[in-house]
Amino acid sequence: METTLVDFVKVLRTAEVKVSPAETLDAMAALELVGYRDRNLLKDSLSMILSKTPEEKELFETSFEKFFTFENIRDQAASTDDDHLDDDNQASDKDPSNPGNNQAGGKGSGEGGGQGAAEDDLEDEDDSTHLQPSSPLGKLLMSGNRSELMISLSEAGRRVEVNQIVVFTQKGLYTRKIMDAMGLKPLQDEISELQGDGGRPERNLAKKLKLGRDRLRDQVRDYVEKQFFLHADESGKQLREELLKKVKLSNLEKRNFKDVQEIVFKMAKKLVAIHSKRRKTFKRGQLDVRKTLRKNMQYDGMFFDLQWKASKVDRPKVMCICDVSGSVSNYSRFLLMFLYSLSEVIPKVRSFAFSSDLGEVTQLFENSKLEDAMAKTMRDYGNGSTDYGQMFMDFKRNCMDDVNNKTTIIILGDARNNYGNPQAEILHEMYEKSRRVIWLNPEPRSNWIVGDAEMKKYAPNCHQTDVCNSLTHLERVVANLLRFAS
């Protein structure tokens, strides 16, 4: 019972329903009370415990219907079996001289040598009724108990860990594993032995077992396919997301842009959830006397509950300066995307773009769709000859007055200045006035002092310098920024 619930919780988590260990334990306690007998009661009970928001309720509903489908599978299997029985009865009532009777035994036309074999099968059908299978799976197939068969199938699926299926091409592999776990080999041996005996009753039983085996294989394929869509669809998506997060942004192709954009928004959503609330920084040692006296009046002046002075930390004001020249345009695109998806937690973001002349693109991103804003930014400010000195002079002339001790300045670029004047003294002035200056360089540190790179002059005037050439790096940098500010 607990194992089934744990598997269901895993399905919910892959569907992005947040379920804590404590909620899982509460669900187990509820499961002991309601059991599995009443499906609607089980569904309502687990829904109250495991899903909180309207979005999670909808995901829970879908996941529950996909996961707990034992009743539907059993009924479908039973009706399918009844249909096969009806077909067999109808075939038995037909004239043996009719060539269509070759289908009465499922695969009789290929196994028994044509019409004469079909007639022999029909004539001697009653002779095989006294024969019973000896293999466990054969007995289960001939018993007609569909519930027991589906339970056996589910248990075999659990033993071979079908919930670990990742790609659709593994469907055949897991089908064979489940069939083996259910006892396919003893069944195959029994079928071969019955066919080798040469008697018509034995051949009839072998044909029935083969028909049951083939029907079971179809059901196992359907079961594996459902497990794939239940588990592997999300698992495969997660694997793809993890891969894209680690790939260099410069190596991503246009066809991956939509997936990466979805990952960026998901990462930002997670960071928003972590850092959306303002945290208080308590300064231990500074006792708030008035609050302490007021709080402890109920204790006749005894200080049971000390109150300390606290100060709220404001959300950071961020200025983001992006080099959108050809060499780093891909990185700039994703940084802009990421920062703007953090607008809930960092509402004071001002973004600038440059190749040489610096231009502010904040309003452009506020008033346009993300894709349109990026395209216009690259068109207006990209593809020029990189000049960091000119960028710093423009920043000093237009923006330096807005920098104060609450401002965080993020610069994204490779610091390659085409051997021009780096204007490092302006960066030092920004360093002195701002709260933090963070430089994100997409190149490896070993390249920071090679050729026309000016990082050796810029780095001493930054509070933090990091390599940032993947979404994982980007997430880490912004998470540190929020942690520092909260």
Instruction: Identify which has the larger pLDDT, 468 or 2.
Output: 468
379-407: average pLDDT:
89
The answer on 467 and 362 residing in a single domain is yes
Q: How confident is the model at residue 124 (pLDDT cuts 50, 70, 90)?
A: very low
pLDDT in tens, 294-350: 777 777 767 667 777 665 545 557 888 988 887 676 677 776 776 666 665 566 788
Quick one: what percent of the chain has pLDDT higher than 90?
A: 15
Q: How confident is the model at residue 425 (pLDDT cuts 50, 70, 90)?
A: very high
**pLDDT exceeds 70 at position 474:** yes
Question: What's residue 380's pLDDT?
Answer: 86
Is residue 255 included in any domain, yes or no? no
Q: How confident is the model at residue 434 (pLDDT cuts 50, 70, 90)?
A: very high
Question: What's residue 431's pLDDT?
Answer: 95
The answer on 236 and 166 residing in a single domain is yes
The count of other CB atoms within 10 Å of the CB of residue 252 is: 18
Classify 283 in phi/psi space as left (phi over 0), alpha (psi -120 to 50) or beta.
beta
CA distance 351 to 395: 12
**pLDDT exceeds 80 at position 411:** yes
The answer on 371 and 477 residing in a single domain is yes
Question: What's residue 338's pLDDT?
Answer: 67
**pLDDT exceeds 50 at position 176:** yes
Whose CA is closest to 357, among 388, 333, 383?
388
pLDDT in tens, 177-214: 999 999 999 999 988 888 887 688 888 888 899 999 99
Question: What's residue 340's pLDDT?
Answer: 64
Question: What's residue 166's pLDDT?
Answer: 72
Is residue 31 included in any domain, yes or no? yes
**pLDDT exceeds 80 at position 227:** no
Instruction: Identify which has the larger pLDDT, 356 or 300.
Output: 356
Instruction: Identify which has the larger pLDDT, 39 or 462.
Output: 462
Question: What's residue 91's pLDDT?
Answer: 40
469-474: average pLDDT:
80
Instruction: Identify which has the larger pLDDT, 42 or 478.
Output: 42
Domain boundary at 41, 67, 93, which? 67
Question: What's residue 253's pLDDT?
Answer: 62
3-class DSSP string for the chain: CHHHHHHHHHHHHHCCCCCCHHHHHHHHHHHHHHCCCCHHHHHHHHHHHHCCCHHHHHHHHHHHHHHCCHHHHHHHHHHHHHHHHHHHHHHHHCCCCCHHHHHCCCCHHHHCCCHHHHHHHHHCHHHHCCCCCCCHHHHHHHHCCHHHHHHHHHHHHHHCCHHHCCCHHHHHHHHHHHHHHHCHHHHHHHHHHHHHHCCHHHHHHHHHHHHHHHHHHHHHHHHHHHHHHHHHHHHHHHHHHHHHHHCCHHHCCHHHHHHHHHHHHHHHHHHHHHHCCCCEEEEEEEECHHHHHHHCHHHCCCCCCCCEEEEECCCCEEEEEEECCCCCHHHHHHHHHHHHCCCCCCCEEEEEEECCCEEECHHHHHHCCHHHHHHHHHHHHCCCCCCHHHHHHHHHHHCHHHCCCCEEEEEECCCECCCCCCCHHHHHHHHHHCCEEEEEECCCHHHCCCCCECHHHHHHHCCEEEECCCHHHHHHHHHHHHHHHC
Is residue 249 included in any domain, yes or no? no
**pLDDT exceeds 50 at position 97:** no
Question: What's residue 287's pLDDT?
Answer: 74
Determine the structural domain holding residue 153 and report its residue range: 70-242
**pLDDT exceeds 90 at position 468:** no
Question: What's residue 279's pLDDT?
Answer: 47
Domain boundary at 189, 222, 242, which? 242
Is residue 456 included in any domain, yes or no? yes
The answer on 321 and 464 residing in a single domain is yes
Q: How confident is the model at residue 379 (pLDDT cuts 50, 70, 90)?
A: confident
Question: What's residue 237's pLDDT?
Answer: 65
Specify the CATH number for the domain of residue 351.
Answer: 3.40.50.410
Domain boundary at 215, 242, 269, which? 242
Is residue 266 included in any domain, yes or no? no
pLDDT in tens, 262-289: 777 777 666 666 655 444 444 455 777 7
**pLDDT exceeds 50 at position 416:** yes
Q: How confident is the model at residue 105 (pLDDT cuts 50, 70, 90)?
A: very low
End-to-end Cα separation, the chain, in angstroms: 43
Is residue 250 included in any domain, yes or no? no
How many domains is the chain built from? 4
**pLDDT exceeds 80 at position 54:** yes
Instruction: Identify which has the larger pLDDT, 409 or 241.
Output: 409
27-46: average pLDDT:
86
Is residue 169 included in any domain, yes or no? yes
The answer on 467 and 322 residing in a single domain is yes
The answer on 83 and 60 residing in a single domain is no
The answer on 221 and 79 residing in a single domain is yes
The answer on 236 and 98 residing in a single domain is yes
Q: How confident is the model at residue 56 (pLDDT cuts 50, 70, 90)?
A: confident
The answer on 330 and 186 residing in a single domain is no
Is residue 385 included in any domain, yes or no? yes
**pLDDT exceeds 70 at position 396:** yes
The answer on 56 and 114 residing in a single domain is no
Q: How confident is the model at residue 484 (pLDDT cuts 50, 70, 90)?
A: low
The answer on 192 and 105 residing in a single domain is yes
Question: What's residue 181's pLDDT?
Answer: 92
User: Mean pLDDT for the chain?
Assistant: 76
The answer on 304 and 379 residing in a single domain is no
